Structures are given as structure tokens and as C-alpha cells.
Amino acid sequence: MAHEILKKLPEDVVVYILLRLPVKSLIRFKCISKTWYILIRSSTFINLHLNYSKTAKEEFIIFKRSLQVDPFQHKTTLSFLFGDDLNPVSPDLDVPYLESTFVNDYDQFIGPCHGLIALINMINTVLFNPATRNYRLLPPFRSDAPQGFRCSIDGVGFGFDSMANDYKVVRISKVYNDPPYRDPYSSEQKVEVYDMITDFWRELDNIDQDMPRIYWAPSSMVFYKTACYWLAIGSKDKMIILYFDMDTEIFNTINLPHTCNSYNGPHYGLLVLRDSITMLRYPNPNPEYDPAQDLMQIWIMKEYGVYDSWMKIYTVRPLLIESPLLIWKDCQMLCENREGSLISYDLKLDKVQQFSLQGCPTSLRAMCYKESMIQIPCESKDNAQVQYF
């Protein structure tokens, strides 16, 4: 009946209605008729839906944890959550290609970029649309370290090149002498970029060998506007932000507030809040440090790239946490506690809430996203195709 009514409406009115529907409904509606199938799959409709979703208030959370299957096997599990009580919106998913013999505490989320998220570990990169449940294993990093040397991955980023209309993955690595002769001060820094259009990895030339070292933490890398951002360790062990512009493929840096940029002691996180780059400084969870002696600070860069625009927006009392994971709805901070459980802390009400979501300690990750119909590019028939969970 509804379909018969919609058939009588002008196409622009139908599009107006469809744009406001959740992705799950749009996927079902593709089966109603050939006309709707073509419409919903068209790049025009997908881009209109993407623009509309950017203004929508509804945000979902994708939550990752490592679970032990047996003494020698761990799996990566994703949960999809919504609402203040973090209710599941669909069954959990186990991610192919991210199994490991040890705790997956090096896994990272990168994104979201147009609704797509990259799931990354030390070996594989899985590109994933959490709304459509489509995913694709990207071609592996090239391993061309000469004999007697070893390649160490420092950082990975994922984003969109608006000039080339292409999605890219960037990898920063170092090539060391193999043990027992490994010398951290005798290494070569490399940067490689994977282009979705060409389905090929390429190495960038003329890389600054004194480029800051990537700081690896649960929330230490984000994609914002046109660039990938990492927390990094600069000269004299000062914490800074390193970023890579996806359009120009040029690196640059942003200084952190001088009162909280010391590498030794505290830990740091990086995220996007209020559509601005945001830095978190929190106590070291190592038992030899007393968290009661330090407070968490949250700083936001109000004007992009302007050092003097750094502003401290929250000072948080000592919390017994392993690490903060994200801030959503402006004041709800999700964290991993010392036992590997997910908790939230209300920055305005000073209230802690614990959830029945747990994983191996240090393995928890979380990211906010808005639903998108964007399709995962797959240009080559020789590599892994887009699959569905």
C-alpha cells in the first residue's frame, strides 16, 4: 500500500522521504522495485544521504574489544551501541583477518571518513561501513626490508583525498637493523600510501628522517577534514601533533599547550570534539604512578592551526582508568577501567557509570559514527572483494 502511494508522488518528494530513513530500511527498500534499487544505489542519492547524515543528530558508537578464545587465540569483536545506556542495535560481530595469538591491544580505529572506518592491526587493514556491514580486506603492506633489517610500523592513517576523489591509507614505518644489532638511532623512515583508485601501494620520496615519532595510544590518531592526525614525540621529548594532508600529501605539525606537552609521565589522547581538534592529558595508569597526584585535562583548539586558541574546557578529578576512548554528546566520556571494562564519566555531573561490556585489558576501543550509504571502493578484481558480515 505504501509503495503504491509513493509511486504516485514526484521523484523529488520520494527522495526527500527516503533521505530521512535509516540505512537498514533503505537496504530493505532496494528490494521493492527496480526503480527504487537503481535510485538508492545511485551515487547522487548516496551523496545526498551522506550530506543529510552530517546534519543529523543521531550518532552511534562502534565498540571494539579483544576476547580470548583459547590460551593461544584471541578474536576481535565489534559491538554497535546507541543511546545513553549504550543499548546494542544489532548482534556483535567477530572481525575476520584480525585474529591473533595475543591480546589485540594494537588494534586501532581510524576515521570515520564519510561513514567508513578502517580497522587496523600490525598486519591487516579492514575497511568497513558499520551501517551497511560491508567490509573489504585491503592489500597487505609491502614488506621489502632488505635482508638483515626489520620493518616496524609506527602509524597508520585513513582518509579521503578530495582533489583526486579517492580514499587513501597512509603508513609510517621505520627500517631497523635486525636484532641483536638493532639500533633505534640508526634507522630509515618510510612513508607509503595506498590509493583505492589504483589499488596499489607507493612509497613517497624525500621523507624527513627527523620527522617526529608516532605516539601509540588507544585514542591517539584521528581523521579530521582533509588530514590524518597523530600524537607524536618531537624534539626534546615534547608532545606535538603530526598531521598528513591527504590532498597535498605533505606532513606538518601543531604544537600542544606548553603546560601539558611533556612526554615523560602523563599519557595523552587525541579526538575531535565540537568539530575541533581536542587533546586529552591523563595520569599514567602504570602502578608506580599515583593517579591521585594528577588530574585529567581536556583542551580544545578553537581556531584551527592557531596555537593561542588552545583552551582548557575540562579539568577532571582522578579516575582509576586505563585510558579514555572517546567523548560524545559533548560531555559523556567513555573509558576503559583497570579491569578491562567499559565505563562512562559525565564531565558535567561528575558521575561514573559502568556497563556490562568487557574485554582483555588494554584492548578496548570506541568511535562515534553517523550512518552512511557510501560504498567501499574495489577497483581491482585481483584482490579481496567487498564482503558482507
Could you give the residue ranges of the DSSP H alpha helices within 168-300? none
Q: What gap in Å lies between CA 286 and CA 169, rounded to an integer?
A: 32
Q: What gap in Å lies between CA 365 and CA 106, rounded to an integer?
A: 10
Q: What gap in Å lies between CA 109 and CA 220, rounded to an integer?
A: 10
* pLDDT tens digits for range 122-171: 778 899 999 999 999 988 876 666 666 777 788 899 999 999 999 999 99
Q: Give pLDDT, residue 358.
A: 93
Separate counts of helices (H) and strands (E) for the chain: 5, 26
Q: How many CA atoms lie within 13 A of 229 on its CB side?
A: 24
* 6 confidence band (pLDDT: 50, 70, 90): low
More confident position, 124 or 358: 358
Q: Taking all residues of the chain, what is their mean pLDDT, rounded to a whole number?
A: 87
pLDDT value at 2 more than 80:
no
* pLDDT tens digits for range 38-65: 999 999 999 999 999 888 888 999 999 9
**What pTM, to 2 d.p., does this model score?**
0.89
Q: Cα 88 to chain center, whole Å?
A: 20
* pLDDT tens digits for range 264-274: 888 999 999 99
Of 61-65, 73-77, 241-245, the least confident: 73-77
* 185 confidence band (pLDDT: 50, 70, 90): low
C-alpha cell at 116: 567508513
More confident position, 88 or 7: 88
Q: Give pLDDT, residue 118.
A: 93
More confident position, 155 or 243: 243
Query: 348 CB contacts (<8 Å, ≥6 apart)?
Result: 331
Cβ neighbour number for residue 48 with a 10 Å cutoff:
16
* 347 confidence band (pLDDT: 50, 70, 90): very high
Q: What gap in Å lies between CA 297 and CA 291, rounded to an integer?
A: 13
Q: What is the mean pLDDT of residues 14-35?
A: 87
Q: Give pLDDT, residue 5.
A: 62
Q: Give pLDDT, residue 206.
A: 87
pLDDT value at 334 more than 80:
yes
Q: What gap in Å lies between CA 237 and CA 262, rounded to an integer?
A: 7
pLDDT value at 380 more than 90:
no
pLDDT value at 103 more than 70:
no
Give the domains, in start order, of the chain with CATH numbers: 11-50 (no CATH), 57-377 (2.120.10.80)
Of 104-108, 144-148, 312-316, the least confident: 144-148
Q: What gap in Å lies between CA 174 and CA 194, rounded to an integer?
A: 17
